[in-house]
């Protein structure tokens, strides 16, 4: 094997250093100044929710679990909304989704659902017992704080080039080499995040076992119910759906898909039940 020349090695080192320095600056530029919240929809209609989220993908209405969770919740609750698709806009918190309602921005899917539940009188809490409210919060956080680590490990880290390829995200014109290089730069950040949280220090087998325990806990809380808490969906069902559907309907195999399919049939049924009930027009909301 031929060793790289000193010039080549220096070039690679220099480029990596510049990219590391440049990337956060480019991202900050893209996301804009977060101190002032700009309302994009100047001609807003009263009580219409303007939902800012990533564009549709060819395999699911949204590849972001948080966007899919929120849009499904809006549909389920018959709230009037208009989608604003964006790759570049971000909320005051620097993320998607966010909404604008009556000239105000609300960011973070959880906070949005809470605010809309109050505004449109859709609160779960009136129909649930105290112990169900506790279970709902526990399962919701289990998904978004614990199981999400397994999603990062097995969906993002193990499949990043396929996940962000133009084919998967619906931008077929982007050459594969570009998304492969982007994946190379994104991977270390994901790895660092998982490592500092602790999950990244486990072996693959240990990580799978943690994922399995989380899924078992959700399946145990659900028991024979049609939805997690009883036979009707509540907010936590939308959280589960958002996170599950966005890995399950991806066009490549993931170890978590196999785990859900082979070991947790009630959770698979839950996802399909949610899809049938709230997205009978699923295919009409996929990117061409």
Q: Which residues bind ligand GSH (CB under 6 A)?
A: 64, 66, 95-97, 108-110
CA 276 to mean position of chain CA atoms? 20
Q: How far apart are CA 121 and CA 110, in angstroms?
A: 16
Q: How far apart are CA 147 and CA 243, in angstroms?
A: 9
CB 54 → ligand GSH: shortest distance, Å? 7
CB 230 → ligand GSH: shortest distance, Å? 24
Q: Residue 190 or residue 219: which is nearer to ligand GSH going by CB?
A: 190
CB 93 → ligand GSH: shortest distance, Å? 7
CB 108 → ligand GSH: shortest distance, Å? 4
Q: Residue 95 or residue 225: which is nearer to ligand GSH going by CB?
A: 95
- Strand 49-53 to 81-85 pairing: parallel
Q: Residue 109 or residue 168: which is nearer to ligand GSH going by CB?
A: 109
**The two three-digit tokens of residue 213, written as one number:** 């325990």
Question: ∠ CA 163-164-170 to the nearest 5 degrees?
Answer: 100
Q: Residue 165 or residue 264: which is nearer to ligand GSH going by CB?
A: 165
**The two three-digit tokens of residue 246, written as one number:** 């966005």
Q: How far apart are CA 1 and CA 23, in angstroms?
A: 33
Q: Strand runs (DSSP E) across the chain, as ranges?
A: 49-53, 81-85, 98-101, 104-107
Question: ∠ CA 30-68-188 to the nearest 5 degrees?
Answer: 50
CB 100 → ligand GSH: shortest distance, Å? 15
Q: Residue 87 or residue 252: which is nearer to ligand GSH going by CB?
A: 87
Q: Residue 86 or residue 266: which is nearer to ligand GSH going by CB?
A: 86
Q: Collapsing DSSP states into helix, strand and coil, what is residue 51?
A: strand
**The two three-digit tokens of residue 43, written as one number:** 């001609």
The answer to whether residues 143 and 218 touch, using CB atoms and an 8 Å cutoff, is yes
Q: Residue 66 or residue 73: which is nearer to ligand GSH going by CB?
A: 66
The answer to whether residues 233 and 76 touch, using CB atoms and an 8 Å cutoff, is yes
CB 272 → ligand GSH: shortest distance, Å? 23
């Amino acid at each position: 094997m031929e060793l790289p020349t000193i010039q080549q090695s220096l070039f690679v080192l220099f480029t990596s250093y510049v990219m590391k320095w440049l990337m956060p600056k480019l991202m900050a530029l893209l996301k804009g100044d977060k101190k002032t919240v700009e309302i994009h929809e100047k001609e807003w209609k009263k009580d219409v929710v303007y939902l800012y989220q990533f564009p549709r993908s060819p395999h699911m209405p949204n590849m972001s679990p948080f966007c899919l969770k929120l849009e499904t919740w809006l549909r389920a609750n018959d709230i009037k909304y208009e989608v604003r698709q964006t790759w570049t806009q971000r909320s005051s918190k620097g993320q998607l989704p966010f909404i604008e309602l009556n000239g105000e921005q609300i960011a973070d899917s959880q906070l949005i659902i809470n605010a809309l539940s109050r505004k449109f009188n859709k609160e779960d809490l009136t129909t649930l017992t105290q112990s169900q409210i506790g279970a709902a919060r526990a399962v919701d956080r289990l998904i978004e704080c614990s199981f999400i680590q397994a999603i990062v490990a097995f969906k993002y880290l193990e499949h990043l080039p396929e996940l962000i390829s133009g084919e998967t995200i619906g931008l077929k014109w982007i050459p594969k080499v570009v998304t492969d290089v982007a994946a190379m730069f994104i991977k270390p950040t994901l790895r660092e995040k998982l490592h500092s949280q602790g999950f990244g220090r486990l072996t693959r087998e240990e990580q799978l076992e943690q994922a399995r325990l989380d899924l078992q806990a959700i399946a145990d809380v659900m028991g024979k119910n049609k939805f997690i808490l009883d036979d009707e969906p509540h907010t936590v069902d939308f959280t589960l759906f958002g996170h599950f559907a966005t890995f399950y309907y991806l066009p490549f195999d993931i170890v978590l898909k196999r785990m859900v399919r082979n070991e947790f049939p009630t959770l698979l049924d839950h996802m399909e039940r949610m899809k049938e009930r709230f997205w009978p027009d699923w295919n009409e909301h996929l990117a061409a």
